[in-house]
Amino acid sequence: MAEADEVDVEIRQQDLRIDVYRSSGPGGQSVNTTDSAVRITHIPTGIVVSCQNEKSQLQNKESALRILRARMLAAAQEEADRIASLERNAQVRSVDRSERIRTYNFPENRLSDHRVNFKANNLDAVLNGELDDVIAALLEADKATKLASGDH
C-alpha cells in the first residue's frame, strides 16, 4: 500500500478514537505488563488500525497513524476512480433504435437519413463519393431549423 504524506490525507484529532491495550502473543518481559498496543478508529470512515509491533506505545501509535493515512488515501483514490468511472459511463450511451441517424440498406441500394427525412436509392454512388444530394438535404434541413428558431 502506498504510504501517504500528511499533506495527502487530513486526519483531525477529534475524528480519532485511540485505544491502548496490552499486546498479545509471545514476547519478552514487558508484553503482559505495559499497554503498548494501539488501536486507532477513524470515526467518520469506520477504518480501524491496530498495531502492536513495537515495544513503545508511541512508536505503535505513529505506525498505526501511518497505516491509517495509507488506508484512507487508498479509499479516497478508490472513491475518485469510482466517480470517474460513473462519469465516463454517463457520457457513453447506447443509441436506442429510435435515435438512429442514418441507415445503409445494401440489398435495396438505399440510404436513409432519419434526421432530415432524406432517402436516396443510389447507395453505391454515395459510397463512391457522390454526396451532393445528401449534403444538399442536410443544408436545407439546417437552414429550415435556423429560420424556424429565428437564428439567421
Average pLDDT, the chain: 84
Calculate what percentage of the chain has a pLDDT beyond 90. 34
Domain 13-91, CATH number (from 3.20.20.140, 3.40.630.30, 3.30.160.20, 3.30.43.10): 3.30.160.20
pLDDT, tens digit, 9 for 90 and up, residues 64-100? 999 999 998 888 889 889 999 988 888 776 667 677 8
**Region(s) of the chain under CATH 3.30.160.20:** 13-91
Q: Residue 4: how many CB atoms within 10 A of its CB?
A: 20
| Cβ neighbourhood burial of 112 (10 Å; 0-12, 13-18, 19+) | middle
Q: What is the CA radius of gyration of the chain?
A: 33
Torsions phi, psi for 10 (to 5 deg): -95, 120
pTM to 2 decimal places: 0.53
Helix (H, G, I), strand (E, B) or coil at 93: coil
Q: May I ask the CATH class of domain 97-149?
A: alpha beta
